[in-house]
Amino acid sequence: MDFPNKQLKTIARLEGTPVFVYSEAVIRRNVRRILGAADRYGLRERIGLYAAYFCNSNPHLFRIVREEGAGILLQTKEEYVQLQQAGVRGNMTVSPAVLSDDEIDFWVKQNIPVNLSSLEEVRYFISHHKEAPLSFRIDLTKEGKQRTAIKRYQLPAVAPHSFHVYAGTGSSCKKLLKNSREAFKIFQDFFPNVQHINLGGGFGFDYLANTADKKHFSWDQYFKGLKTQLEEYKIPKQVKIILEPGRDIFADAGRFLLSIKRIIAHRRNSKIATDGSYVYVPSSTIRKRQHRVHFFGQDFKEMKVSAKRGFLSGCTTLSSDYVFPGSIAVPEKISAGDFVFIEDMGAYAATQHMEFLNKKPCSEVLIKADGGVVRLTRRGDDNDKIRYLTNQPIQL
Ligand SMILES: Cc1ncc(COP(=O)(O)O)c(C=O)c1O
């Protein structure tokens, strides 16, 4: 049990709700699943794994990822500062959007490889940082539709240290392998001397599947395909393949615990009024995504769902405030004071908390591998929204 009832009971009593609950065991298992699959196909030494910081953004959890041998993918200076502040060091790489000259200077100064995303940036980089390793993102889409990335027709006549591609979040294994094939063709045709080929993130995750094996990206299938392609395109052994997964490492490592405030019964269904809100986890609503849900009584015994349907209502006045959209099966007997525990809220969830509607941020806790429970993030303050408000307007 990665989220044991005993620990949940303690969390509800001592920390209260709404609260994000993470499992150290699941984070470790998720990194090992990827590296283990790479190992099975003889690719362990060739794969550089960098977990996307922005998908969760809690430095304490990235310390665990580091311990498992993965690096960290950054995209803004703030992220670097946050990790420094928390004392999380180690291998990092940066895949941002458009960079100013100052930002390029910043990353070069830190000695962290950065994937540039336009010819304009490449020109600045070459003229100001001739000695630093050059890397840039290439748009592999047929139509050249990616917001940032150098288009195929623009490929510069330089010899980069590495290049980066990105297939888009939630991609299937088939799409990612099509993308890697395109990247390897670029290697052969244009940049046969690069040291790294960065294949980006975007590894799909199935939120409605009922086991971890079915939810997670099929790493065995992926590495099997990658191995074949590496041979087919004669990519030399010393060329490292960089991967930047976020969702696959964090999604099922976090869950969201809510309290039921009241059950509002209607003729056809009921509204389960919770202390949750879409503002805590907007991505589920934006992506029209449902999650698997568990219901617990006050004694933290799980309640079986019935034929009854209900909607998980949020706690703000916004008419569309559901924790996630659509109805779900609910237990026959459910009442105020019971709990809702939502699966797969570890990636693109707590970190997307919106200030809109003035709800303070949730706290975050971790169930450690030894069963202990620690708080990682304090619950926000009622005044959070106005924390930067000046006492009086200040003349500039
Ligand atoms: C460049 C880049 N790398 C990695 C990721 C992480 O993707 P995912 O969490 O879908 O694996 C993203 C997501 O937007 C990205 O833009």
- In this prediction, residue 268 carries a pLDDT of 81
Phi, psi at 88, each rounded to 5°: -95, 115
Domain holding 179, by residue range, is 24-250
State if pTM tops 0.85. yes
Domain boundary among 219, 250, 281: 250
What's the CATH number where 265 sits? 2.40.37.10
pLDDT, one tens digit per residue, over 233-283 is 999 999 999 999 999 999 999 999 999 999 999 888 899 999 999 999 999
User: Where is the domain boundary, 199, 219, 250?
Assistant: 250
Quote the number of domains for the chain.
2
Query: Crossing angle, helix 173-189 and helix 219-232, to 10 degrees?
Result: 20
Find the CATH number of the domain harbouring 30. 3.20.20.10
Q: Do 35 and 150 share a domain, yes or no?
A: yes
Q: Does residue 169 have its Cβ closer than 6 Å to ligand 1? A: yes
Q: Answer yes or no: do 295 and 176 share one domain.
A: no
Handedness of CA 382, 294, 34, 202 (dihedral sign): negative
Nearest atom (ligand 1) to Cα of 203? 11
Does residue 391 belong to any structural domain of this protein?
no
User: Are residues 272 and 263 in contact, defined by beta-carbon separation less than 8 angstroms?
Assistant: yes
Residue 136 in any domain: the answer is yes
**Mind listing the pLDDT tens digit for each residue in 174-233?**
999 999 999 999 999 999 999 999 999 999 999 999 999 999 999 999 999 999 999 999
One domain, residues 306 and 211: no
Pocket perturbation via mutation, ligand 1, pick of 30, 33, 53, 55 by most ligand atoms within 8 A of CB: 55
Q: So what's the pLDDT on residue 43? A: 98
- How many helices and strands (H and E) does the chain possess? 11, 17
Question: What does the pLDDT look like over 47-77, one tens digit per residue?
Answer: 999 999 999 999 999 999 999 999 999 999 9
392 pLDDT more than 90: yes
Cα–Cα distance for residue pair 361/241, rounded to 1 Å: 37
- For the segment 136-148, the average pLDDT, to the nearest whole number, is 95
The residues that bridge with 337 in the sheet, in sequence order, are: none
Residues 35 and 151 in one domain: yes
Q: What confidence score (pLDDT) does residue 290 get? A: 98
CA-to-CA dists, residue 233 to 13, 186, 204, 226, 237, angstroms: 57, 10, 25, 10, 12
In a domain, 349, yes or no: yes
Identify whether residues 53 and 176 lie together within a single domain. Answer: yes
Whether 217 lines ligand 1, by a CB cut-off of 6 Å, is no
Per-residue model confidence (pLDDT) at position 13: 98
* 217, burial (CB in 10 Å: exposed 0-12, middle 13-18, buried 19+): buried
**Coil/strand/helix, residue 83:** helix
Tell me if 3 is assigned to some domain. no
- Return the amino acid letter for 253: A
**Dist. CA 307–CA 32, nearest whole Å:** 38
% of the chain at pLDDT higher than 90: 98
Q: Which residues fall within 8 angstroms of residue 12, CB to CB, at 6 or more apart?
A: 19, 257, 259, 300, 339
The response to whether residue 171 sits with its C-beta less than 6 Å from ligand 1 reads: no
Q: Is the CB of 122 under 6 A from ligand 1?
A: no
Which of 23-27, 369-373, 385-389 is least confident?
A: 385-389
Q: 85: exposed, middle or buried (C-beta count within 10 Å: 0-12, 13-18, 19+)?
A: exposed
* Cβ-Cβ contacts under 8 Å for 86 (sequence gap 6 or more): 59, 60, 63
Question: Residue whose CA is closest, atom 10 of ligand 1?
Answer: 202
Cα end-to-end span (Å), the chain: 57
Domain boundary among 232, 250, 268: 250
Ligand 1 neighbour 244 (Cβ under 6 A): yes
State the pLDDT at residue 156: 87
